[in-house]
């Protein structure tokens, strides 16, 4: 659960940023597509935050019953789910900003590249290593 010390502050900052965006003076000028991207990104960030906070609640509620194995297994799953939501939120944030600053075509290209980079570095590399380790190499 030490990884939360790195991941959760980033989620908190992104969530705080997303909470204030609609109250900015330029907000009425965004398109319906940009509003949708914003809202989906907000929801992904909220889901990530929920997943990252849940292990603390689970630990607090279950630790007296010596249910540590369940807490650890559940926490790992929730943290991976939180990372998946965070990957979507980061991609959505990049998509939204790039749509506003450049164009939708550029935004799709950049967001796709970011999504690919996150998928590779966060998930594909450790999963490939797990497979290699499991196969005895």
The phi, psi pair for 103, rounded to 5°, reads: -150, 165
Q: Tens digit of pLDDT for each residue in 1-34?
A: 666 677 778 888 899 989 999 898 888 899 999 9
Please enumerate in sequence order all residues whose Cβ is within 8 A of that of 122, keeping only pairs 6 or more positions apart, or say none.
Answer: 83, 87
Cβ-in-10-Å burial (0-12, 13-18, 19+) of 115 comes to middle
Q: Tens digit of pLDDT for each residue in 108-135?
A: 999 999 999 999 999 999 999 888 777 7
Q: Tens digit of pLDDT for each residue in 47-84?
A: 999 999 988 888 788 777 777 788 888 889 999 999 99
pTM value is 0.87
The phi, psi pair for 63, rounded to 5°, reads: -65, -30
Question: How many other CB atoms sit within 10 Å of the CB of residue 1?
Answer: 14
């Amino acid at each position: 659960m030490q990884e939360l010390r790195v991941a959760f502050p980033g989620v908190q900052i992104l969530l705080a940023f997303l909470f204030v965006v609609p109250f900015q003076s330029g907000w009425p000028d965004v398109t319906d597509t940009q509003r949708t991207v914003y809202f989906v990104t907000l929801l992904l960030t909220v889901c990530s935050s929920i997943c990252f906070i849940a292990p603390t609640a689970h630990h607090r509620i279950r630790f007296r019953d010596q249910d540590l194995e369940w807490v650890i297994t559940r926490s790992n799953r929730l943290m991976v789910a939180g990372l998946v939501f965070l990957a979507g939120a980061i991609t959505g944030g990049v998509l939204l900003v790039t749509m506003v600053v450049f164009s939708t075509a550029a935004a799709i290209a950049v967001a796709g590249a970011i999504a690919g980079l996150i998928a590779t570095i966060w998930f594909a590399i450790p999963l490939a290593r797990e497979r290699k380790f499991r196969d005895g190499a």
